[in-house]
Amino acid sequence: MDKAKELKNIKKNTIFKRGILLTLLTVIVGNSFFTSMPMGTSYEGKLQDISYIEFLYDLSYKKDNKIVREHRIFDEIIEMIKKAEEFIIIDIFLFNDDYDRKNEFPPLSSEFTNALIEQKEKYPDLKIFLITDEINNFYGAYESKYLKKLKENNIEVIITDINKMRNSNPLYSGIWKILLKWMGTSGEGWIRNPFSPDSPKVNIRSYLKLANFKANHRKVFITENAAIVSSANIHDASGYHSNIAFKIKGEIINDLIKSEMAVAEFSGFNMENIQYRDNKEVLKDVKAMVITEGKIKKHILEEIKSTDKNDKITMGMFYLSDRDVIKELIEASQRGVEIKIILDANKDAFGLEKNGIPNRSVAWELVKKSKGNIDIKWYATHGEQYHTKLILIERNDNTASIIGGSANFTVRNIGDYNIETNLKIVAKNYSEITQDIRGYFDRIWENKDGEYTLDFSAYEENNFFKYIMYRFQEWSGLSTF
């Protein structure tokens, strides 16, 4: 009788323990997979008239056995800051001078900081808001010297609350939220900073938060005069990267402001109501719209799906891995669409050597499944990155669609996880903006007056293990791309 009672109690305890475990797993899974984007993100503005647009780009390349740095974007941003008298809104992912010190880079972060402070001193009523990612404080382990200096000079600094964002690494983030988040991240560190030997040491709790792989990845600069949407960071070690940007004027800037107010709000800051006043001039044959986060993917897929025989798709991309985009590119090639893609070889990362994932695996798949109809080249980097995120679609009906900005074509960047901002531009093929972008791609594809790109064979890689690794990382979120 006692033995039967004992067995019954064991059974009850087992059921109870399993119930607790099931409840805990349910909570973890719920916190990982069933979170939504913060209100105001995944934004899609109206396609509207604009009064000005200019295509800007940075290129690092070799000519006559010498490295040439042809860079404009940072200088344009500084000039825009120097002309601001009413307001400046900045949303920037990397904003620091952290790197391994083995090489020297342009002091972008200090120059940018000083430019903002000088303009604030010149115009005390100038409203300046800088939104940035937690990576610059190493997820709360310390305060960045540049952010501290800005705050000391009455410039509003808003650290994006990544806890409010969806979990791009769900296998880990649920566990972190339930079991680790409560420990916080502040406090003196004892671990060497992974980004720079002379930056403050960090603690293990900050590393644990980093593993969520969340980011406000935007690169947006707005004043009362103009706006720039870019792929370029204000980051010393990124100073030689090849990037693109659009400088724009028009009512569309109010859509950019609206999208930035949303990030400030979910991060606990109510940005004052700021309004851009346009001069009402209108460019002929060019319209543009703001798209962020998942809406970027929506428009990429729509544009590729709408292509037909003899249309042209040209792309320059730092990371290309999203499965839906890859599928649509292959299907477009089968319809007779001419496709050219320039990719970073994914070999350089601030002095470290990368393994080529995901681009080399993706490139092999695109070439193979399109039966060679998709033409791929690699940008010839020399320690820096081809950090561009840009697609140009030219159609036989004389219309062109352009999408570019901060977002790589990966699940993390365009799947409603990272915070991203791109512009979509609709224009005629003969318009100045289309011709400028076409000229940019022709220049680097054909290696005009310099060595920009290498043939596909230079980094051709049919590696089954790496392909499986890429597919797993893209599916699971256990990656930084």
The string of pLDDT tens digits covering residues 85-101 is: 999 999 999 999 998 88
pLDDT at residue 345, as a whole number: 97
* pLDDT at position 22 over 60: no
Higher pLDDT, 245 or 281: 245
Whether residues 178 and 67 fall in one domain:
yes
CA atoms within 13 A on the CB side of 67: 11
pLDDT at residue 187, as a whole number: 79
For residue 364, give its domain range. 286-475
Q: Report the Cα 474 to chain-centroid distance in Å.
A: 16
- Point out the domain boundary residue: 266, 298, 319: 266
Whether residues 414 and 443 fall in one domain:
yes
Whether residues 380 and 436 fall in one domain:
yes
Residue 27 domain-assigned (yes or no): no
Whether residues 86 and 178 fall in one domain:
yes
Mean pLDDT of the chain: 92
pLDDT at residue 197, as a whole number: 85
Whether residues 157 and 303 fall in one domain:
no
Q: What is the pTM of this model?
A: 0.92
Under 8 Å between Cβ of 173 and 219: no
* pLDDT at position 173 over 90: no
Whether residues 235 and 306 fall in one domain:
no
pLDDT (mean) for 32-55:
89
197-213 per-position pLDDT tens digit = 888 899 999 999 999 99
289-328 per-position pLDDT tens digit = 999 999 999 999 999 999 999 999 999 999 999 999 999 9
d(CA 378, CA 363): 10
Residue 12 domain-assigned (yes or no): no
d(CA 139, CA 110): 21
Whether residues 73 and 221 fall in one domain:
yes
The full DSSP string for 271-322 is -------------TTEEEEEEETHHHHHHHHHHHHT--TT-EEEEEES-B--
Count of domains observed in the chain: 2
- Point out the domain boundary residue: 210, 231, 266: 266
Under 8 Å between Cβ of 348 and 379: no
pLDDT at residue 25, as a whole number: 53
Whether residues 242 and 172 fall in one domain:
yes
Whether residues 204 and 290 fall in one domain:
no
Q: Report the Cα 468 to chain-centroid distance in Å.
A: 24
262-291 per-position pLDDT tens digit = 999 999 999 888 989 877 789 999 999 999
pLDDT at residue 10, as a whole number: 58
pLDDT at residue 31, as a whole number: 54
420-462 per-position pLDDT tens digit = 999 999 999 999 999 999 999 999 999 999 999 999 999 999 9
CATH number at residue 251: 3.30.870.10
Whether residues 204 and 300 fall in one domain:
no
d(CA 49, CA 43): 18
